[in-house]
Amino acid sequence: MLLNRDRANEYMDREGLDALIAVDSNNVVYLSDYQSDFLYDPPWLACAILPRSPDIEPCLVLTEIDVCVLVQEPSWMPDIRPYYFELFDNRFPIQTFSKDDPLSEEDLKIRGWVEKMEKNPVLGMVPAVIGALKDKGLDKMRLGFDDIRLAGALGDTLSAGTAVDAGNLFMQIRMVKTPDEIAILKEAAKRNQKSLLGAIDVIQEGATWQDVFTAYEVGVVSNDARPFATFNGAGPRGAGAGRPHRDYPVLPGEPVAFDCMLKYKRYMGDVQRTAVLGEATPKLERYWKALKTGVDEAYAQIGPGVSTADLRQTALDTVRKAGIPDFEVAFIHSIGLDHLEVPVFGSGRLGLFTLEKDMVINMDMEVHEIGFGGVFF
């Protein structure tokens, strides 16, 4: 299971919440263990409801078309409530069933879901959520929403209850991973490393950053993952994230900086490396060794109870002393369904938290020296 249920219960107790309500696609996947490609598309296609009380069934609200996926990859949540898309105030059914060809056992399960829906059709996600909350008595309770706008969309449904903005709470819960999550993240890292090594193999005389960029993203797809972002690049254009320079040639001695991210089973892989065609210049060699020294010093301190502020300061002090006096970009962040899983996002204190057992973190060490290039570890 992806959900850290004990941690979710602990945080609901701490905040006095009777349920968590998720419509952000990553949070829906996290709470319900259910995912489909539709959850990559428009927002608010599905909703996961996680009550605190074990006597109230968790609920997943999803689209009619998603029942095709559900029969193959079911959610652990026992109460599944499909709804129809609404188009111009009318029901917009997607599924039809052949009258000429035999239906498989799976097809019959899909038809069973649709027949059940037709007896009591619900148009739109919000009405489906309203029905679920009322049926469970949650409409009179204190609910934490990952998108507080949904509470407003519910109209007077919560007139006897309370809506709480729990967006940051979801992030805090997700920062400590379950064994299933850690296994997926390890696999994402392996596939990302393999894709990156394929891109490095393309670095040769006459190659451009476009060639390297394309090799990485094609490698991601061939490794059964999805490209998320491929930042930085070759030579002086490698300083700064994503500067347009696809036709820039890879030249001997210049750094080629990678910040490569993919999605595997919706979880992030994020790796940074620096490569060079031929021999590194003395400056590039010095910078690389300084970064590695900082990484080694910081890694040696990593453990539960350690503040990311202390890790960052260790990295800064070490790298500056080792040869890059103005080094600044040492950034520690949790990683999972999102690239940056950090608490208090938007508060100006990005990345400040204390490490706990089973957190998965990235420590980004980056030099962005305009005129020279990027050096990443």
Q: What is the pLDDT of residue 349?
A: 63
- Residue 31, both tokens: 């709470």
| Cα–Cα distance, 3 to 328 (Å, whole number) | 35
Residues in the chain, overall count: 377
Give which of 38, 79, 40, 74 is closest to 60, Cα–Cα.
79
DSSP states along 174-225: HTBPPHHHHHHHHHHHHHHHHHHHHHHTT-STT-BHHHHHHHHHHHHHHTT-
pLDDT tens, per residue, the chain with 377 residues:
999 999 999 999 999 999 999 999 999 999 999 998 887 778 899 999 999 999 999 999 999 999 999 999 999 999 999 999 888 878 888 889 999 999 999 999 999 999 999 999 999 999 999 999 999 999 999 999 999 999 999 999 999 999 999 999 999 999 999 999 999 999 999 999 999 999 999 999 999 999 999 999 999 999 999 999 999 999 999 998 878 788 999 999 999 999 999 999 999 999 999 999 999 999 999 999 999 999 999 999 999 999 999 999 999 999 999 999 999 999 999 999 999 898 765 555 666 899 999 999 999 999 999 999 999 99
Express the helix, strand and coil content of the chain in percent, nearest 5 each. Answer: 40, 25, 35
The overall pTM is greater than 0.75: yes
Dihedral sign (CA 200, 334, 178, 43): negative
Question: At 63, which helix (H) or strand (E)?
Answer: strand 59-63
How crowded is residue 117: how many other Cβ atoms within 10 Å of its Cβ?
Answer: 19
**Do the bridges between strand 85-87 and strand 329-334 make them parallel or antiparallel, or are there none, so unpaired?**
unpaired
Residues 322 and 296: beta-carbon distance below 8 Å = no
- Report the pLDDT value the prediction gives residue 348, as an integer from 0 to 100: 54
Q: Give dist(CA 284, CA 276) in Å, integer.
A: 9
Q: Is 143 helix (H, G, I), strand (E, B) or coil?
A: strand
Q: How far out from the chain centre does Cα 353 lie?
A: 18
CB-based contacts of 331: which residues, under 8 Å, 6+ apart?
Answer: 312, 351, 363, 364, 366
Q: Mind spelling out the 3-state secondary structure of 225-242?
A: CEEEEEECCEHHHHCCCC
Structure tokens at 157: 């449904």
Task: List domains and CATH numbers for the chain.
Answer: 5-174 (3.40.350.10), 179-376 (3.90.230.10)
| Nearest to 336, CA basis, from 307, 360, 363, 356 | 360
Q: Quote the DSSP letter at residue 351.
A: T
**DSSP 3-state of 329:** strand
* Residue 365 near residue 272 (C-beta atoms within 8 A): yes
Cα-only R_g, the chain: 24
d(CA 265, CA 190): 13
Q: Please state, in angstroms and rounded to a whole number, the distance separating the CA atoms of residues 103 and 84.
A: 22
- Joined tokens for residue 81: 């409530």
